[in-house]
Structure 1
Amino acid sequence: MADDDGPLVGVLAIQGSVEEHVAVLAGLGARTREIRTPDGVAGIDGLVLPGGESTAMGIMTEGDGLWETIRAAVDGGLPVYGTCAGLVLLADRAIGQRDGGQPLIGGLDCDCCRNYFGAQVSSFEVPLAATGGASAEDAALVAKDYPAVFIRAPAILKVGKKCEALASVTVAPHASAAPAAKKQAAAEAAIPEREVVVAARQGNILVTAFHPELTDDTRWHDLFLAMVKKRTSG
């Protein structure tokens, strides 16, 4: 149940599992606000970008200033958590975009591949492997034995110097994803099976390629709310 004194977390309500994220956050004591316009971003303590179709989300918001408002807030330090399509939107570089490019919010120094795991019929659940790094303790806490649900998910092919991998899986790309990745000089994406990053963090940005809101395990939302509370208490 939401706490009257809990942090106010916005949930982008354009597409995706908005209600599920709201329910998890409320259960952890956060207040929530569904975000559809630039004005909704004002006053929030954190922001969740749910799954959906990243290209469609970008098209639906073109010209209304919402992406620019969110980008400015993230650049200013607002904690943000992107799941699935939200990961793509927060990536600095996305492979497999529509012709002419795709509106991205950016901020996460990585190369991601849209729909790396294929169509919705290719969706599956797989345990995660925690990676090392400065936040190794956090990674082990949230990734160990975690039942990650992937639905037409992206994957991070390469993390930049500023971006830290938190979890990975070893899997082959879907046939539809490999050509797009190869076209963008990421020929390694065509390898039958490889380790890809499916959760990462860079400062105030947290992303997962999977859908924690569709499970009963709240560890990833707990980690995000810890980021939010650290900023609001500081």
Structure 2
Amino acid sequence: MLPATIGVFALQGDVREHLAALTALGVDAIGVRRPEELERCDGLVIPGGESTTMYKLAKTFELFEPLQKRVAEGMPAFGTCAGMIMLADRVEDGTADQVTLGGLDITVRRNAFGRQVDSFETELDFTGVDHPVHAVFIRAPWVESAGEGVEVLARVEGTREGAEADGRIVAVRQGQVMATSFHPEVGGDLSIHRLFVELVEKQ
């Protein structure tokens, strides 16, 4: 049986780290910049970066509509940080022209945890992973609200005592679509990428 082919949206964002994580898990990992590369993919990772820039570049490279169509048709997708915003159906604090791929019945708040100087790291309990996950948050969003069909995989707990951030949803799954507010490609723990690979391989 041939390994799954999983693409990483490669027009902007932290592409290399995701490709390395996926390759380490034995899949055929490829950068996706063109529709013909997307056609080869059994699943797709949308990395951290800048969500409005991702949208504009995807439109320029004629990749946005094919991506939107594949996600709507059930292709497994995994978004991290800005990738979560790209997969959200609704965005708060977005730009006036903010457009997303959709796929997750969630409302996401951009830069909810603050600016670059407010970046932080913490340990999270993550559904499906049998050990605490080390999570790195960099200008991260959080999930303001999630629809009934959305499974909450992780929340921030006790990192900022009494702060508005405490208890916020930072990882979700709905059907074949996963997303995290943080950067699981940082730090060498492949557990969350492994969950996504298993999701793809079940197709």
Shorter-chain TM-score: what band? Answer: over 0.9
The answer on 1:158 being equivalent to 2:145 is yes
1:203 match: 175
Q: Amino acid of the residue matched to residue 159 of structure 1?
A: A
CA distance in 1, matches of 2:165, 2:95: 25
CA distance in 2, matches of 1:63, 1:17: 19
**Residues 16-31 of structure 1 correspond to what in structure 2 (within 5 A)?**
16-31=13-28
1:126–1:148 CA contact under 8 A, matched in 2 = yes
Q: Secondary structure at the match of 2:148?
A: coil
**Displacement of 1:62:** 2.6
**Residues 211-222 of structure 1 correspond to what in structure 2 (within 5 A)?**
211-222=183-194
**Displacement of 1:74:** 1.0
Q: Which one of the candidate residues 130, 141, 148 is aligned to 2:135? A: 148
1:87 match: 84
Q: Amino acid of the residue matched to residue 185 of structure 2?
A: E
Q: Secondary structure at the match of 1:72?
A: helix
CA distance in 1, matches of 2:45, 2:128: 22
Q: Amino acid of the residue matched to residue 129 of structure 2?
A: L
Q: Amino acid of the residue matched to residue 175 of structure 2?
A: G
CA distance in 2, matches of 1:77, 1:226: 15
TM-score by length of 2: 0.92
| Structure 1 stretch displaced more, 69-78 or 83-92 | 69-78
Instruction: After superposition, give the CA deviation of every residue in 1:190-227 in whole Å (9 maximum; x if it has no partner).
Output: x7454211000000101011111111111100000000
CA distance in 2, matches of 1:60, 1:13: 10
**Structure with greater helix percent:** 1
The answer on 1:52 being equivalent to 2:49 is yes
Instruction: After superposition, give the CA deviation of every residue in 1:61-100 in whole Å (9 maximum; x if it has no partner).
Output: 235431110111111111111000000000000111112x
Q: Amino acid of the residue matched to residue 141 of structure 1?
A: V
Q: Which one of the candidate residues 95, 105, 113 is aligned to 1:109? A: 105
CA distance in 2, matches of 1:204, 1:210: 19
The answer on 1:77 being equivalent to 2:64 is no
CA distance in 1, matches of 2:34, 2:128: 36
Q: Secondary structure at the match of 1:147?
A: strand
Q: Amino acid of the residue matched to residue 229 of structure 1?
A: E
Instruction: After superposition, give the CA deviation of every residue in 1:150-195 in whole Å (9 maximum; x if it has no partner).
Output: 11111001110121111001466xxxxxxxxxxxxxxxxxx74542
**Residues 218-229 of structure 1 correspond to what in structure 2 (within 5 A)?**
218-229=190-201
Is the alpha carbon distance of 1:193 and 1:17 closer, same or farther for their aligned partners in structure 2, counting shifts above 3 Å? closer
Q: Secondary structure at the match of 1:161?
A: coil
Q: Amino acid of the residue matched to residue 139 of structure 2?
A: R
Q: How many residues align?
A: 200
Runs of 4+ in 1 over 6 A off after TM superposition: none
TM-score by length of 1: 0.81
2:8–2:18 CA contact under 8 A, matched in 1 = yes
